[in-house]
Amino acid sequence: MGQPNDPPDGKPLLRLSHNDLGIVASIITSYLAYLQWGTPTTPKRDAEIAILKNIKGRLAFVLMQPEGYIPLTTQEIQALANALRGFVTLTIRIVAPSRERDETLAQIDALRHHLLRMLAVGQN
């Protein structure tokens, strides 16, 4: 039997503070709205929407706990990384440049790079 910190089913774990998990949930919500209303319907888009909705639901459950983590499949890591990249791209287009905007986007991009490293490790 695995230790409490071992990934369930070998899935990589996304361990963030509750505040950061809440921010990720908000980013997913925003990106889902963009996907649903701002992009044409394709099977790939619909699959990504389903994956992101699943992650968002699991995040909501984790956020009700005193602490936690969320195990992610390879597909979920990729979808979340795409959502973070899309959110950054949209924010750059919509929000006027400022130090605060750029610092926030840099932190989001750092999380995206962390996810991509998780993906690379999981594939090795």
Torsion angle, CA of 15/86/121/57, rounded to 10 degrees? 40
Q: Which domains are assigned to the chain?
A: 15-123 (1.20.120)
- HSE-up (13 A, CA, CB side) for residue 67: 4
Query: Cβ contacts of residue 123 below 8 Å, gap of 6+?
Result: 74
> Over the chain, what is the mean pLDDT?
88
pTM of the model: 0.85
Q: Judge whether 11 and 73 are in contact, CB under 8 Å.
A: yes
pLDDT of residue 57: 95
Is the pLDDT score of 4 beyond 70? no
What's the first-to-final CA gap in the chain, in angstroms? 23
| pLDDT tier for residue 118 given thresholds of 50, 70 and 90 | confident
| pLDDT tier for residue 105 given thresholds of 50, 70 and 90 | very high
Maximum pairwise Cα distance, the chain = 51
Give the tens place of pLDDT for each residue, 24-78. Answer: 999 999 999 999 999 999 999 999 999 999 999 999 999 998 877 888 999 999 9
Query: Cβ contacts of residue 36 below 8 Å, gap of 6+?
Result: 49
